[in-house]
Amino acid sequence: MNWSEFFAMGGYGLYVWGSYGMAALVLAFNVLAARRREKNVRRELAAATHLNQAEPE
Amino acid sequence: MATNLVGSVWCVFRRDLLIAARKPADVATLLVFFAIVISLFPLGVGPEPAVLRTLAPGVLWVAALLATMLSLSRLFAADYTDGTLEQLALSPQPLTALVLAKVMAHWVTTGLPLLLLSPLLAIQLYLPAEALGTLLLALLLGTPVLSLIGSIGAGLTLGLRGGGVLLSLLVLPLYTPILIFGAGAVTASATGLDPEAYLSLLGAFLAVALGFAPWATAAALRISLD
Amino acid sequence: MLFHKYASPKVFYALAGRLIPWFAVATLILLGYGLYQGLFVAPPDYQQGESVRIMFIHVPAAWMSMFVYMVMASAGAIGLIWNMRLADMAATASAPIGASFTLLALVTGSLWGKPMWGTWWAWDARLTSELLLFFLYLGFMALQAAIDEPRRAARAGALLALVGVVNIPVIHFSVQWWNTLHQPASISAINKIGTPAIHPSLLVPLLIMAVAFTLFFATVLLMRLRAEILHRERHTGWVAELVKP
């Protein structure tokens, strides 16, 4: 397996790896955004519960 | 007071036209906007007749699109704020028919004036005389479709902040087929080809839009009013 | 109807939680296999050389952009007709995923086009259609963002998505026509390159990547739905139990 040839992609390296890189970014972004959303919601909920619990009976 | 369908439609149509007649500034501003946008192109790309002649069909149509877009917000805005729209929605007459009446009135105060002014502006862009007839016919078929599709967007964005720009974002992608075939018809005529196919397609769009759009707009209004 | 049991947010939350790991693992396996096939096994093209490998990202991304729009519109329709909040949530959650696939298709289309056409952008039929689809996604997201009230936002979005679905074939057809109209002969040859005849050796990685992307979409959608359910159901007892430290 000639690695330098592999990375060069017959001169089209920029375009091929640019595309695969962009794909990786899009996939990563989607996962991270979904995770972030869940984290934010949980944080909001915890804060609300806290406030409820903090109220004196 | 008319209680049948045709009577109600005519009533709404007439009312909207009367209201528009009291504000001639609306139509005037629309036409001035149309003329200004068209004048921007020679200023931007240079006064060379050959260039302008090639661009003319597209420029005329894009300007017509933008002018129609800007006038869409006044389709329902006034009636929404004073409660008339809710009354229309509650009336025993089908909202779809009443919406059609409003859109037709809107076209009389938007598409029709644009159509009438267009030959003058087309000459400024060196559009050949033999294409002028096609231009009028294409605009006659196409501008009502712009009003019809645009009314769906206007219904969806009723009372929303950022209304005008949001409306443009929603509606402009949907306008692209009209633009393609409308400008295509005029270009065909200008280059000596037969515009019949384009005009037939525009006619087909109009027929489908007349059937589909008022119903979708009525649904949009109910969603926004609830 | 079995359907209704899973329409309950609480039940669906639990179901989604059990499904996500499986979908995630399946996605990773298929992505890995697809990349292996696309980057190592598939031979370079006679005309395009190694740049043909971009197709294994570009084409599945374009397919996904269309597929997700259909899912979004269908979910919206179900939510509109049957008043299912879960369907509404699915429509809203799908939009950013679909938009990102559309963007990926556009960027990879541009990267594929540059070595072939010599320009970073060309107004060919497929890229132009993709661009308009991107605007349709953005419009949907903007409309929902502009409406504060959740029920109106869901229903307005659903209607817009359905209007979009009706228009997409019309736009596709119009852009095709426009494209053949305006292209001088040299560029129509480019369009042929843009739609290569698919050799079997190229078909395998293409299909694997398409399935991988679909599984990925399902995974992320389930993740987003869980978050949305927590948010929507925040005042209920079962959620309170769930977030207790």
Q: What is the mean pLDDT of each run of 10 residues along chain B (226 residues)?
A: 82 95 94 96 95 96 96 92 93 94 97 97 96 97 98 96 90 96 96 95 97 97 94
Tell me which of A7-21, B47-61, C185-199 is least confident: C185-199
How much is the CA Rg of chain C, to the nearest whole Å?
20
Residue A44 in domain: yes
Q: What confidence tens digit (pLDDT) does each residue in C20-58 have?
A: 999 999 999 999 999 999 998 888 888 888 888 999 999
**Paired tokens of C189:** 């040859």
The answer to whether the CB of C16 falls within 8 A of the CB of C225 is yes
pLDDT at B18: 96
pLDDT at C5: 65
CA angle B139, B142, B143 (to 5 degrees): 75
Displacement of CA C183 from its chain's centroid (Å): 29
Report the pLDDT averaged over residues A22-36.
97
Cβ <8 Å between B181 and C174:
yes
pLDDT at A39: 94
Domain of A42 in residue numbering reads as 10-54
Of B173, B223, B224, the CB nearest to C132: B173
Residue A38 in domain: yes
DSSP assignment letter at B162: T
For residue C2, what pLDDT band results from cuts at 50, 70 and 90? low
pLDDT at C67: 97
Report the pLDDT averaged over residues C114-137.
90
- Structural domain count, chain A: 1
Residue A39 in domain: yes
Q: What confidence tens digit (pLDDT) does each residue in C129-156 have?
A: 999 999 999 999 999 999 999 999 999 9
What are the helix and strand counts (H, E) for chain B? 10, 0
Residue C165 exposed, middle or buried by CB count within 10 Å (0-12, 13-18, 19+): middle
Residue that the structure tokens 């179901």 belong to: C15
Residues of chain C with pLDDT > 70, as a percent, come to: 90
pLDDT at C190: 47
pLDDT higher than 60, residue C188:
no
CA-to-CA dists, residue C137 to B17, C24, C62, C87, C230, angstroms: 36, 25, 13, 17, 25
pLDDT at A55: 59
The Cα B43–Cα A42 span in angstroms is 56
Give the B:C interface size as CB pairs under 8 Å: 67
The Cα C243–Cα C229 span in angstroms is 13
The answer to whether the CB of B194 falls within 8 A of the CB of B186 is no
pLDDT at A47: 86
Q: What confidence tens digit (pLDDT) does each residue in B142-163 have?
A: 999 999 999 999 999 999 987 7
DSSP assignment string, C65-85: HHHHHHHHHHHHHHHHHH--H
Residue C128 in domain: yes
Q: Is B172 on the interface with C (CB under 8 A)?
A: yes
Residues of A with Cβ-Cβ distance to C223 under 8 angstroms: 31, 34-35, 38
Residue A34 in domain: yes
Residues of B with Cβ-Cβ distance to C152 under 8 angstroms: 223-224, 226
Domain of C75 in residue numbering reads as 11-243
**Paired tokens of C213:** 């992307």
pLDDT higher than 90, residue C122:
no
Chain C closest-CA separation from residue B25 CA (Å): 30
Q: Which residues contact A22 (CB under 8 A, 6 or more apart)?
A: C57, C104, C107, C108, C111
Residue A47 in domain: yes
Tell me which of A4-13, C63-72, C208-217 is least confident: A4-13
Q: Amino acid identity, residue B30?
A: L
**Paired tokens of B164:** 């005008």
Residue C6 in domain: no
Q: How crowded is residue C170: how many other Cβ atoms within 10 Å of its Cβ?
A: 16
Report the pLDDT averaged over residues C102-125.
90
Residue of B195, B218, B219 whose CA lies nearest to B103: B218
CA-to-CA dists, residue C187 to B188, C114, C182, angstroms: 20, 14, 9
Residues of C with Cβ-Cβ distance to B174 under 8 angstroms: 163-164, 167, 171
**Paired tokens of B147:** 């009003």
For residue C185, what pLDDT band results from cuts at 50, 70 and 90? very low
Three-class SS state of C45: strand
Residue A48 in domain: yes
- Spell out the long-range contacts of C85-89 with Cβ–Cβ below 8 A and sequence spacing 24 or more: C85/C9, C85/C154, C85/C232, C86/C6, C86/C7, C86/C9, C86/C12, C86/C225, C86/C229, C88/C150, C88/C154, C88/C155, C88/C158, C89/C225, C89/C228, C89/C229, C89/C232
Q: Is B169 on the interface with C (CB under 8 A)?
A: yes
- Structural domain count, chain C: 1
Measure the CA dihedral C58/C25/C241/A54, to 10°.
-60
Residue C4 in domain: no
Chain C closest-CA separation from residue B46 CA (Å): 23
Measure the CA dihedral C149/C150/C154/C157, to 10°.
40
Residues of C with Cβ-Cβ distance to B224 under 8 angstroms: 152, 156
**For all residues of chain C together, what is the average pLDDT?**
89
Residue C2 in domain: no
Q: Do chains B and A touch (3 or more CB pairs under 8 A)?
A: no
Top pLDDT among B134 and A47 is at B134
What are φ and ψ of residue C49, in 5° steps?
65, -145
CA-to-CA dists, residue B198 to C51, C83, C92, C183, angstroms: 38, 41, 37, 18
Residue A5 in domain: no
**Paired tokens of B20:** 């528009």
**Paired tokens of C160:** 């817009």
For residue A49, what pLDDT band results from cuts at 50, 70 and 90? confident
pLDDT at C183: 59
pLDDT higher than 80, residue C194:
no
H helices within chain C, ranges in order?
2-7, 9-36, 55-82, 85-117, 125-146, 150-182, 185-194, 200-232, 237-243
Residue C65 exposed, middle or buried by CB count within 10 Å (0-12, 13-18, 19+): buried
